Structure 1
Amino acid sequence: MKHLLLLAGAAFTGLAALPADARDMWTKEQANGWYAKQPWLVGANYNNRSAINQFEMWQADSFNPKEIDQELGWAADMGMNTMRVYLHNMLWEEDAAGLKQRMETFLQIADKHKIKIMFVLFDSCWDPDPVSGPQRPPIPGVHNSGWMQAPGAARLADKSQYGKLEAYVKDIVGSFAKDQRIVAWDVWNEPNNQGGGGGAYKPTPNKVALVAGLLGPVFEWARSVDPTQPLTSGLWIGQNWDQQDKLDAVEKIQVAQSDVMSFHDYSWPETFEKRAKQMMSYGRPVLATEYMARGNGSTFDGSLPIGKKYKIAMFNWGFVDGKSQTRMPWDSWKKPYTHEEPTIWFHDVLRANGKPYRPAEVEMIKRLTTEANGPRR
């Protein structure tokens, strides 16, 4: 299997050989054997309501265990058993020991609520120039106005920085490689995304090619520390995910190196099911690591029953309304909702006080997860 993986890596990116101590990519049998032991995984993409981005969630002066405990308690009460949570390489560069200690605290809180965590190592979305320390306030009425890319444009373009990125991946994954509280590692969110922001951010030159050259090594670095959890990176654009000749260079690496397959879909349920089946064609477990944008046709009642039908892990975007302001739609980058609320919330499940935006959604999540997994104990 390792030989096949090396051939795939060479074909797609000309990567060097895997480190000698790297574990093999899981076979389909290993991946499906792991997944058969999991409950139906249902949760959200999570950052606590007082955090505008990864930095405010994890930095020492703004890390908020009390708030996290409250919110994960709300999640458990509605039947959720997993969360997808973003890290950032600069957090590690500036305070590796502190970051890992706070990750441990977070995992203890999650475990108390019987919630397993998928950590995301890198992300190509939103602001390409991340800055640590105190973060700017939210732009009024704008969706996700403070989110930061990782590693960011400067580090992505500077190969002399790649040693730090390698050390970050190996230390974080290696430190938690045998941790049963972690369900999976998402090594790079939407790696071939140009960034978003409706023109607010300067595009990173040659970004997709740079990412295509780095994504394979990121998989290798994570695999080299022998994690017991699967690695993945999710496809999110395009229409022909089951046809490898239609995939771009980044997507080919995602498909070739993911132990379990993952994807994003913010479309109507017919499209969600079509994309899910395309991902299922690879014969590996499938995780929908982002979905649910009400104004775009992606809803709990449309997509969640499909996930249950095929036992696809389901992570909706957004949990508690807060500083990320993802109740606002994507078009808020061009017309901020400063004088009115959106007609319907785009993302998020709960208001800041824990009350459901739509009680019927919470009841549905609770009902479907109970049907699949039994009542929470």
Structure 2
Amino acid sequence: MKHLLMIAAAGFAMTAALPADARDMWTKEQANAWYANQPWMVGANYNNRSAINQFEMWQAATFNPKEIDEELGWASAMGMNIMRVYLHNMLWEEDAKGLKQRMETFLQIADKHKIRIMFVLFDSCWDPNPVSGPQRPPIPGVHNSGWMQAPGAARLADKSRYGELEAYVKDVVGHFANDKRIAVWDVWNEPNNEGGGGGSYKPTPQKKQLVAGLLGPVFEWARSANPSQPLTSGLWIGQNWDQADKLDAVEKIQVAQSDVMSFHDYSWPETFEKRAKQMLSYGRPVLATEYMARGNGSTFDGSLPLGKKYKIAMINWGFVDGKSQTRMPWDSWKRPYTHEEPTIWFHEVLRANGKPYRQAEVDLIKRLTTEANGPRR
């Protein structure tokens, strides 16, 4: 009970500082009423196979509606009904109108396949120095070698540019605030992540402190657009998510400000269930927004039935094998798989031609989602 009181107090303090036009954070009752009207949400973190990162997915020169249509068709056929998709603030800075037009096209395609979208606004993982325009090719044999952080180290450190970040959040969330094709807004992916990349990237100085100072305002900016969809940001490290004194400054904001709870887990089913129960202790709907790393013990067979048992939304990492190369494991940053395939694929459900990596996984997804939601039509 102590952790709930502490977090409630933190949430009250933040709510009091919201702009006058911001909607309130949802109560538990509002969040649970919303969730009661949702199907069991099952899907994947998605970027199309010819896109190495957010820029190649969304920039006009490489945006590929035909490929997206094909891939979301494959997803729908196996029972998936949600995709988690990353945006980037620099896309908006350079072409706000074009980005929103392409988001509209993407949403039309997704809606045709009865798939809703969770958009991610910011991300603390991988390359801290994003560059727009033509992207570098994948590093051979390396996991997610072209992914870019948002807002990136330079903008994170330069508080004079926070006005641009505010404008991005308010414009994008505001434009789609009442769009039923969007299920959830994930305001920041793994905000307290130092970056990843096995030491390949120079750490951003004081990153966690800067993020802790910016994450609260990002929630406020998004909420000020009065979205009809819930806001969230997911926990991903640590062992005691239900104990406020064990949470860092960033995690306390995530827990205090999320309308619905979310988390990541790439470990064995026993750990997934433990973390799921900790998140459920807050009395709000829970979404697992990343899971499934076969070589790390996280599999569809082990975790997906638990998600169904607890009615937790389940969004695995990776869908179609492509330029992101996330079939390679994390250790490929230190030992690239240039002369061999990994013994087992780390992420991804389908090969580039749409054939399953493991037919049994696709069969399981289809069976469990049909049991929960009925057959796709």
Shorter-chain TM-score bucket reads over 0.9
- Partner of residue 240, structure 2: 240
Q: Distance in 1 between matches of 2:177 and 2:15?
A: 24
Gap change, CA 1:15 and 1:152, over 3 Å in 2: farther
Q: Partner amino acid for 2:190?
A: E
The aligned counterpart of 1:362 is 362
Query: Aligned pair 1:320/2:359, yes or no?
Result: no
Query: Would the aligned equivalents of 1:87 and 1:120 in 2 still touch at CA under 8 Å?
Result: yes
Find the aligned partners of 2:15 and 2:230 in 1 and give their Cα distance: 21
Counterpart in the other structure of 1:201: 201
1:15 Cα deviation from its structure 2 partner: 9.5
- After the TM superposition, which residues 1-377 of structure 1 pair with which residues of structure 2 at under 5 Å, given as runs? 7-8=9-10, 17-377=17-377
Q: How many Å separate the matches in 1 of 2:303 and 2:16?
A: 40
Residue identity in the other structure for 1:8: A
Deviation at 1:140, TM superposition (A): 0.0
| RMSD across aligned positions (CA) | 1.3
Alignment partners' CA distance in 2, 1:80 and 1:155:
35
CA distance in 2, matches of 1:28, 1:107: 29
Report the residue type matching 2:179 in the other structure.
D
Give the letter for the 2:211 counterpart: V
Does the CA-based 8 Å contact 1:53-1:148 persist in structure 2?
A: yes
State the AA in 1 paired with 2:10: A
Inter-partner Cα distance in structure 2 for 1:205 and 1:238: 22
Is contact 2:42–2:314 with CA below 8 Å preserved after alignment? Answer: yes
Q: After TM superposition, give the deviation of residue 8 of structure 1 in Å.
A: 1.3
CA distances 1:294-339 after superposition (whole Å, capped 9, x unpaired): 0000000000000000100000000000000000000000000000
Contact 1:130 1:149 (C-alpha < 8 Å) held by counterparts? yes
TM-score by length of 1: 0.97
Post-superposition Cα deviations, 1:105-141, rounded to whole Å, max 9, x if no partner, equal 0000000000000000000000000000000000000
Q: Distance in 1 between matches of 2:40 and 2:33?
A: 14
- Percent of aligned pairs with the same residue? 88
Which residue does 2:3 correspond to in 1?
none
Corresponding letter in the other structure for 1:324: S
Asked whether the equivalents of residues 185 and 231 of structure 1 are also in contact (C-alpha less than 8 Å), the reply is yes
CA distance in 2, matches of 1:335, 1:7: 46
Shift of 1:47: 0.1
Distance 1:352 1:290, change over 3 A: same
Size of the aligned set, in residue pairs, is 372
Tell me by how many angstroms 1:7 deviates.
Answer: 5.0
Matched position secondary structure for 1:191: coil
Which residue identity does 1:352 align to in structure 2?
A
Letter in 2 for 1:226: N
CA apart distance, 1:10: 8.1
Whether the 8 Å contact between 1:15 and 1:216 is mirrored in structure 2 is no
Mark the runs of 5 or more structure 1 residues left unpaired by the alignment: none
Alpha-carbon deviation of 1:6?
A: 9.5
Q: Deviations over 1:23-63 (max 9, x none)?
A: 00000000000000000000000000000000000000000
Whether the 8 Å contact between 1:9 and 1:216 is mirrored in structure 2 is no
Q: Following the alignment from structure 2 to structure 1, what is the Cα–Cα distance between the partners of residues 8 and 213? A: 14
Say whether the 8 Å CA contact 1:6–1:18 is kept in structure 2.
Answer: no
8 A Cα contact 1:321 1:352, kept in partner:
yes
Whichever residue aligns with residue 350 of structure 2, its letter is L
| Counterpart AA for 2:316 | N
CA drift at 1:247:
0.2
Structure 1's consecutive aligned runs of 4 or more residues displaced over 4 angstroms after TM superposition are: 4-7
Aligned to 1:188, the other structure's residue is in SS state: strand
TM-score by length of 2: 0.97
Deviations 1:248-297 (A, max 9, x none): 00000000000000000000000000000000000000000000000000
Q: Deviations over 1:63-86 (max 9, x none)?
A: 000000000000000000000000
2:120·2:188 contact (CA, 8 Å) conserved in 1? yes
Cα 1:277–1:7, aligned 2, differ >3 Å: closer, same or farther?
A: closer
Q: CA deviation at 1:17?
A: 1.5
